[in-house]
Amino acid sequence: MPQTPDGLLAAAAAHVAAGRAAPALRAYEEALRLDPEHPFVLLQLAEHALASGRPADAVVPLERAAAAAERRGGPVRDIHFALGRAHMAQGAPAAALPAFRRMLAAAPGDVVAALAVASAAVGAGDAPGAERVLREALRTQPDAPGLWANLAVALSAQRNADEAFACAQRAVDLAPDSIAACRVLAAAAVECGRGAAAIPACRAALARRPGHPALAAALADALKAAGAREEAFALLAPLAAAAPSPAVLVSLGALAIETGRFAEAQPVLERAVAADARNPRAWDNLGTARKRGGDAEGAADAYGRAVALDPAATPSWCNLIDALRALCAWDRLEEAERQRQARRAHGGVDPRWNPFVAVRDDTSPRQQLAIARAWSRHTLPAPAAAAPAFVRTRGGRLRVGYLSSDLQEHATARLMAGLFERHDRARIETFAYSHGGDDGSAMRARLVRAFDHWVDLSRVDDDAAAQRIRADAIDVLVDLKGHTQNSRLAILARRPAPVQVHYLGFPGTLGFDAVTHLVADDVVAPAADAAWFSETVVRLPHCYQVNDDRRPLPPAAPRAALGLPAEALVVACLNQPYKLSRRFLRLWADAIRAVPDCVLWLFAPQEAARANLAREAAALGLPAARLAFAPPAAHDAHLARLAAADLALDVLPCGSHTTGSDALWAGTPLLTVRGDTFAGRVGTSLARAALLPELATDTVDAYAALLRDLVRDRERLRAYRHHLATRRHELPLFDTGGFTRDFERVLEGLADGR
């Protein structure tokens, strides 16, 4: 008897039921030969292509099937569903969206169809459209957890973090065992700064499905957001070794970075992108791992891949721009900044513009406040309603806590060690709250001796850390990190102390209402700019930056050992390369060209940065012989080489901070210019406290003119060096004892409500 398409379909179904894929496929192919436009046969062959990982081969058969089904009748819903899936599998949500919409039109009220439309709409950049579809579906099916979870995703894509969290919580309440719902809840909780709120649900789901990689990754993300980084790392490390999944690898890599395990982070994240090359978070974290490993070029490449995959991801754009700055790749930097601004103008972008990158951008105080507020709102928990009610006993010692991860060999510690040691123990009781590792350095040992109490918070979560600080009845809690790497401002969100102050670590406002005061001076934070600080600014009488007058003062290193001409006039900018710019290099070159034996000395640890700077300098008429580069060096060696320079150069918009005071301590005058923001005014504050106000100009043009004068006047430079060498311990900048007394008066005034 001759075969018919229906008979072959029946035979194929029998083969499928028996698990015989090859005979089933042959039956479908024979049926298609007999009826080339049979919609169900075309659908089955397309499904086979999808299952075989060949989504592109499924598209044309499905388009033919859809047309045939319209004419002859057939599984219209299933055909459009498969067509949409084929486009999604190729990373084309905009192409999938019409197919999924036709699927929904063919089956109104179908939850799967609504979810498909919403997923494609979010992927295509139409999160509001996704929200409308999901809310319509929820009108008739209010207890469908998938609808609530996907609504959370759509709201999150619109940066409506709080409502997204509420929807995700509703999804988990309806389906506690749902892996997807738990993952969405964790992501939503982290986004709105409430990571701890997702921990119980994720922990319970993982207990019912031990070792499930997606659940483990979700729980780890929530734990990390709650400050329990070590617990999260211990959760994921065995899973990554035993049965790694992209989700586990990405989360573990991020944790390795945040806990200082940089050597472990990069190979984990390289495995993550190998397993899932379309994961922007994996590429972004890999960029950070490469950056911390000293590979700025590799970092820029990884960040570039991240923004290509998710152009709305502002944090990845910030990371890319920072990496290009470190490479002094200024043409690429200008293009990246143009693209970022275009994305921001387009709308719908992630509002998390990293404030630590923003202070290096050409931003105004008003903009920096808005950026800091948005970052704090989207990355930190909402501050608790009230601070502790206790009041210190009159006549008792003021209890002051310092919170930081940098209480080790670090620039912050080198500046502050003398202050910690000089606190008046009759009036001040000091508590170190360290959430960084113990590097075993001499500085770490010195700091431990300097405090009355040393508390290690590195292995406790934010709630436990806040409880410990509250139990210690701290009067004033001083945060030394702000919006910098490894900050834990979420501890301050719990308001463990009645007065919470930011100082030193971050040059600007935090835009975070849990922090009530900022310690500054009238140069970096003038009264006229008070509106651009979320904190009440309290001002020290001289420079806000403390310095340690007990730190080493090595003699100047021999120039020959530094690769510098012995008799040349050496002008140096040993700031990090990310602070350099074409604008300042041009005006430096203009001044240096006029003095034949003048050399420009820059810090550029990356070979690519040195090549870029040499090329830029040559284009400005500054040959290789007039340009020198300083490699990385230990701090004592860095001070010794700074002493070998004749003049240190400052930059904008983010100027010299520790590098500037290091130069002045080493006896090298600093030429600076007052900027428009806190980060651009530190050099002016340093120069004034070094009693060299004439080296701080008010405009870039005046800076350029003064530089032209100085490089022609070696006697004047020698006079400045003599001033710094002979009066070093008289200068307000290096009067650690006097600074400590001023700082203590500020702390006591804050505790007393003054």
> pLDDT per residue over 416-433, tens digit each?
999 999 999 999 999 999
- Amino acid, res. 35: D
pLDDT in tens, 131-170: 999 999 999 999 999 999 999 999 988 878 889 999 999 9
User: Helices H, strands E: what count in the chain?
Assistant: 35, 13
Same domain, 680 and 597: yes
CATH assignment at residue 730: 3.40.50.2000
DSSP 368-404: HHHHHHHHHHHHSPPPPS------PPTTSPEEEEEEE
Q: Give me the percent of the chain exceeding a pLDDT of 90.
A: 75
pLDDT in tens, 274-292: 999 999 999 999 999 999 9
- Determine which of 337-346, 459-468, 688-697 has the lowest per-residue pLDDT on average: 337-346
Is residue 342 one of the residues assigned to a domain? no
pLDDT for position 387: 65
Same domain, 596 and 682: yes
pLDDT for position 348: 61
Q: At residue 721, does pLDDT exceed 80? A: yes
d(CA 283, CA 306): 5
Mean pLDDT of the residues in the chain:
92
- Determine which of 311-320, 390-399, 610-619 has the lowest per-residue pLDDT on average: 390-399
Same domain, 470 and 435: yes
Same domain, 618 and 570: yes
Tokens 């700082």 sit on residue: 743
Q: At residue 25, does pLDDT exceed 90? A: no
- Determine which of 315-319, 451-455, 500-504, 690-694 has the lowest per-residue pLDDT on average: 315-319
pLDDT in tens, 346-380: 666 778 899 999 999 999 999 999 999 999 988 88
- Determine which of 9-18, 544-553, 640-649 has the lowest per-residue pLDDT on average: 9-18
pLDDT for position 388: 63
pLDDT for position 389: 58
Max Cα-Cα span within the chain: 112
pLDDT for position 1: 37
Angle subtended at Cα 253 by Cα 312 and Cα 212, rounded to the nearest 5 degrees: 95
Is residue 272 one of the residues assigned to a domain? no
Is residue 715 one of the residues assigned to a domain? yes
- To the nearest 10 degrees (0 to 180), the angle between helices 39-51 and 55-72 is 160
pLDDT for position 480: 98
- Amino acid, res. 259: T
Same domain, 589 and 495: no
Contact call for residues 319 and 303 (beta carbons, < 8 A)? yes
Is residue 110 one of the residues assigned to a domain? no
Contact call for residues 713 and 402 (beta carbons, < 8 A)? no
d(CA 548, CA 126): 55
Same domain, 524 and 571: no
Contact call for residues 503 and 479 (beta carbons, < 8 A)? yes
pLDDT in tens, 530-576: 999 999 999 999 999 999 999 999 999 999 999 999 999 999 999 99
Same domain, 511 and 623: no
Candidate ranges 38-42, 66-70, 666-670; pick with highest mean pLDDT: 666-670
Tokens 């409880």 sit on residue: 467
Hey, how many other C-beta atoms are within 10 angstroms of the C-beta on 42?
A: 29
Q: CB neighbours of 320 closer than 8 A, spacing ≥ 6? A: 287, 300, 303, 304, 306, 307, 336
Same domain, 615 and 667: yes
Higher pLDDT, 345 or 209: 209
Q: At residue 754, does pLDDT exceed 70? A: no
Is residue 658 one of the residues assigned to a domain? yes
Q: At residue 2, does pLDDT exceed 60? A: no
Q: At residue 295, does pLDDT exceed 50? A: yes
Same domain, 409 and 462: yes
Hey, how many other C-beta atoms are within 10 angstroms of the C-beta on 347?
A: 8
- Determine which of 45-49, 100-104, 451-455, 697-701 has the lowest per-residue pLDDT on average: 45-49
Domain that holds residue 443: 359-549+735-754
Q: Distances from the Cα of 241 to the Cαs of 209, 215, 230, 237, 283, in angstroms?
A: 18, 16, 17, 6, 20
Q: At residue 329, does pLDDT exceed 50? A: yes
Is residue 588 one of the residues assigned to a domain? yes
Is residue 260 one of the residues assigned to a domain? no
DSSP collapsed to 3 states, 536-604: EEEEECCCCCCCCCCCCCCCCCCHHHHCCCCCCEEEEECCCHHHCCHHHHHHHHHHHHCCCCEEEEEEC
Same domain, 603 and 645: yes
- Determine which of 45-49, 67-71, 230-234, 452-456 has the lowest per-residue pLDDT on average: 45-49
Number of independent structural domains in the chain: 2
- Determine which of 258-272, 590-604, 632-646 has the lowest per-residue pLDDT on average: 258-272
pLDDT in tens, 178-187: 999 999 999 8
Same domain, 608 and 724: yes
Same domain, 372 and 503: yes
Q: At residue 414, does pLDDT exceed 50? A: yes
pLDDT for position 243: 66
CATH assignment at residue 474: 3.40.50.11380
Is residue 517 one of the residues assigned to a domain? yes
pLDDT for position 60: 92
Q: Please give the model's pTM, rounded to 2 decimal places.
A: 0.83
